[in-house]
């Protein structure tokens, strides 16, 4: 009886364990990870930086508003030392209404201008980025401030008629007086800008009146107006000889008449407003 042996498949060769990673390879891998993380952090920082720049650029137009409101608060604090808080608030608001008349007309004329800036005991001003195209446009810009300012003072007088509170009557009087003073025909006041379209020779009449007023009622503010007025008047008067400046001051007679009527009408209205809002102050014996 023959014996048969069982056939078995050859044993598979044993698999060797995976080789241990080289320390050099691990070090390189760790270095790449650190470099990648650093690059990602730098990119993130750059993205945040440009996002901050974008936010600042979007915020930039609001800085003018902050300058206006900040200077208003400083002016209120300064005027409140003399008149008290609430009258100082009302006075500064009347100044703002006056200056906004200039701003609105400047925009209508297509002229870029700064936001109103308030200077305690000096009032407020709006800086023009460029001169108007002609003297007629300059006159419109100059008269727009007293015109809207007169409306603001008239509103105070109307509120007085309703409430019968002397606060509103006194505020209306100050508003009428403020706008009337601005109509003096001397540069750089609003009346001087109106004279540019009517008769620039009136600048010298206004300047003489201002000097007389300075002797009657000396004031540091009047001194500054006289100094700036003298320099600006002489500069503008000399420039009128230039052919381009002669074109600038060439205004049609009908428009010159219209400016004159508005100018005289404002003076009459403001004088009447001061008359009806004048408040006699009674002092106690104590």
Paired with 128 in beta bridges are 113
pTM reported for the whole predicted model:
0.71
Name the token pair of 210.
Answer: 């201002």
Q: For 249, which DSSP code?
A: T
Distance of alpha carbon 175 from alpha carbon 263, whole angstroms: 17
Q: Are 276 and 157 in contact (CB under 8 A)?
A: yes
Name the token pair of 234.
Answer: 């002489």
Measured CA angle at 114 (ends 110, 119), to 5 deg? 145
Distance of alpha carbon 271 from alpha carbon 180, whole angstroms: 7
Residue for token pair 């009302």? 90
DSSP secondary structure, 116-130, as one string: PEEETTTEEE--BSS
Name the token pair of 79.
Answer: 């005027």
Closest CA to 178 of 156, 158, 197, 200: 156
Q: DSSP H helical segments within the chain, as ranges? A: 23-59, 61-83, 85-108, 135-163, 166-181, 190-198, 202-216, 220-239, 243-248, 253-277
Q: Are 172 and 156 in contact (CB under 8 A)?
A: yes
Distance of alpha carbon 238 from alpha carbon 231, whole angstroms: 11
Distance of alpha carbon 159 from alpha carbon 262, whole angstroms: 26
The dihedral over CA atoms of 108, 109, 112, 113, expressed in degrees to the nearest 10, equals: -80
Closest CA to 184 of 137, 226, 219: 226
Distance of alpha carbon 66 from alpha carbon 57, whole angstroms: 15
pLDDT, one tens digit for every residue, the chain (286 residues): 444 444 445 554 555 555 555 555 555 556 566 666 666 665 555 445 444 444 433 444 445 555 677 888 888 998 999 889 999 999 999 999 999 999 999 999 998 888 888 888 888 888 887 888 889 999 999 999 999 999 999 999 999 999 999 999 999 999 999 999 999 998 889 999 999 898 888 888 888 888 888 888 777 778 888 888 888 888 888 877 777 778 888 889 999 999 999 999 999 999 999 999 987 765 444 3
């Amino acid at each position: 009886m023959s014996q048969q042996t069982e056939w078995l498949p050859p044993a598979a060769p044993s698999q060797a364990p995976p080789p241990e990673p080289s320390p050099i390879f691990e070090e390189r891998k760790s270095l790449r990870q650190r470099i990648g993380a650093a690059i990602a952090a730098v990119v993130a920082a750059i993205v945040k930086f440009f996002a901050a720049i974008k936010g600042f650029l979007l915020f930039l137009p609001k800085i003018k508003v902050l300058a206006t409101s900040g200077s208003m608060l400083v002016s209120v604090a300064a005027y409140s030392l003399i008149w008290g808080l609430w009258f100082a608030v009302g006075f500064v608001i009347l100044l703002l209404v006056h200056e906004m008349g200039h701003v609105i007309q400047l925009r209508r004329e297509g002229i870029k201008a700064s936001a109103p800036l308030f200077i305690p005991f000096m009032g407020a001003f709006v800086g023009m980025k460029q001169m108007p195209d002609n003297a007629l446009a300059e006159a419109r810009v100059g008269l727009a401030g007293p015109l809207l300012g007169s409306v603001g003072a008239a509103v105070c007088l109307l509120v007085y008629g309703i409430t019968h509170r002397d606060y509103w009557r006194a505020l209306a009087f100050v508003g009428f007086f403020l706008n009337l003073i601005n109509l003096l025909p001397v540069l750089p006041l609003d009346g001087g800008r109106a004279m540019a379209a009517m008769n620039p020779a009136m600048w010298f009449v206004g300047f003489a009146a201002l000097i007389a007023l300075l002797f009657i009622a000396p004031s540091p503010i009047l001194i500054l107006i006289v100094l700036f007025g003298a320099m600006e008047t002489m500069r503008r008067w000399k420039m009128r000889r230039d052919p381009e400046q002669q074109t600038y001051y060439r205004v049609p007679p009908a428009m010159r008449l219209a400016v004159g009527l508005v100018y005289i009408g404002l003076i009459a209205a403001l004088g009447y407003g001061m008359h009806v809002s004048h408040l006699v102050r009674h002092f106690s014996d104590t």
